[in-house]
Amino acid sequence: MSNLNQALTERPDIQIALSNYFLFLAKPGYWWHGAQKVAIAAAARAASTCALCAEKKAALSRGQIKTLHPESDLLSPLIIDMVHQIITDQGRITDTQIQALEQSGVSRLAYAELVGIVVCLFSIDEFCRALSQPLPELPEPQPGLASQRTPENLETKTGFVPMIARDGLTEAVQDLWPAGFGANVIRALSAAPDLVRQWKQLAAVFYLPLEEMGNLAQSASRQLNRMQMELLAGRISALNRCFY
């Protein structure tokens, strides 16, 4: 057994988190049914090799490129373009684009769920690519309709999407973040609480559990100490031009 395979065997929590996400992906969501969620994931995977996205990213303004992504049975070209941009050119997403999605029938709540689906899948795929592992197969979607459930205590003052207020956690969502925390990077997906839960589970196995963020020494479950982890995270963020 290779050192890599042995290391992965010793971390069954990683495989559990990945399996949980793909089980979640197949089910109907808040504003997208199962087949649409899987189609969003497939579009996200296609973005990295999309010639049109490369052309748009290289352009001074994305609006200069009038070509549309091909329409699918489940997603409009506007939705596919947004999914691709989240992967390839997220720094130039504008509120005007979100408004255009709204006018096409995709609410900001649905957009928040879409972002969460893409972000979680991309985290998994980048993990696999970094270790030269095959990407997990996308699941077969399950039948059923989207629930259209909206969490309570949403505020719209912070970004492009509604978020649960920092002190607005109700009993149904009290597990999303610790009392007094509520950083924007956590709240950003809170209009779709299950996506926060999925993101937290993936972050816990790829990085650290949210509850351990205050541990600046070394987690008992990690071989690297916190300084080593942050050095790697900072370098990768710089390479990815993540200025957050």
Of the pLDDT bands very low, low, confident and very high (cuts 50, 70, 90), residue 145 is very high
pLDDT tens, residue by residue, 34-47 = 999 999 999 999 99
Instruction: Provide the whole-model pTM.
Output: 0.92
**8 A C-beta contact, residue 136 and residue 14:** no
Mutual angle of helices 108-130 and 193-206, in 10-degree steps = 20
Q: pLDDT-derived band of residue 244, with 50, 70 and 90 as boundaries?
A: low
CA nearest neighbour of 113 among 9, 197, 210: 197
Confidence of residue 2 (pLDDT cuts 50, 70, 90): low
Residue 1 has pLDDT above 80, yes or no: no
What pLDDT does residue 239 have?
A: 86
Cα separation values, 9 from 15, 73, 209, 218, 222, Å: 9, 39, 20, 21, 14
Identify which has the larger pLDDT, 147 or 236.
147
The 10s digit of each residue's pLDDT in 111-132 is 999 999 999 999 999 999 989 9
Q: How confident is the model at residue 208 (pLDDT cuts 50, 70, 90)?
A: confident
Quote the pLDDT of residue 114.
98
Query: Encoding tokens for residue 34?
Result: 């199962």
75 close to 36: Cβ distance less than 8 angstroms: yes
pLDDT in tens, 71-86: 889 999 999 999 999 9
